[in-house]
Amino acid sequence: MTLETANRIKKVRQAAAAKEIEAVLISQPENQYYLSGFDGEGYLLITPQQTLLATDFRYIEQAKQQAPNWELFQITGSITDWLPRFIADLNIASLGFEAGNVTLATYRKMVKALDESQPALNLIPLEALVESIRAIKEPEEIEFITIAAEISDSAFEYIEDIIRPGMSEEDIAWQIEKYMRDEGSQTMPFDVMVASGPNAALPHAKPTPRTINTGEPIIIDIGAKFEGYASDLSRTICLGTPDDTLNKIYEIVLTAQLTAIDKIRHGMTGNEIDRIARTIIGQAGFGEAFGHGLGHGVGLAIHEHPTISKISAETISDNMVFTIEPGIYLPGWGGVRIEDLILIENGKAKVISKARKL
Site for a second copy in 298-357 (CB under 8 A): 311, 329, 331
CA–CA gap between residue 56 and residue 306 (Å, rounded): 33
Residue 239's CB: how many other CB atoms inside 10 A?
Answer: 18
> Which one, of 33, 16, 51, 50, lies nearest residue 125 by Cα?
16
> Which one, of 252, 325, 243, lies nearest residue 287 by Cα?
252
Among 292, 303, 348, 354, binds a second copy (CB under 8 A): 292
Q: How far is the CB of 343 from a second copy (least distance, A)?
A: 25
Three-state SS at 204: coil
Contact between 24 and 31 (Cβ < 8 Å): no
CA–CA gap between residue 153 and residue 151 (Å, rounded): 5
Note whether 115 binds a second copy by CB under 8 A. Answer: no
224: DSSP letter: -
Among 68, 100, 166, 347, binds a second copy (CB under 8 A): 100
Contact between 261 and 351 (Cβ < 8 Å): yes
Site for a second copy in 238-277 (CB under 8 A): none
CA–CA gap between residue 84 and residue 328 (Å, rounded): 52
Site for a second copy in 180-199 (CB under 8 A): 181, 187-188, 191
Note whether 14 binds a second copy by CB under 8 A. Answer: no
- Which residue, 49 or 103, is less far from a second copy as judged by CB? 103
Note whether 215 binds a second copy by CB under 8 A. Answer: no
Q: How far is the CB of 108 from a second copy (least distance, A)?
A: 7
Note whether 112 binds a second copy by CB under 8 A. Answer: no
Q: Footprint of a second copy on this chain (CB under 8 A)?
A: 39-40, 56-59, 61-62, 76-78, 99-105, 107-108, 125, 127, 174, 178, 181, 187-188, 191, 201-206, 291-292, 311, 329, 331
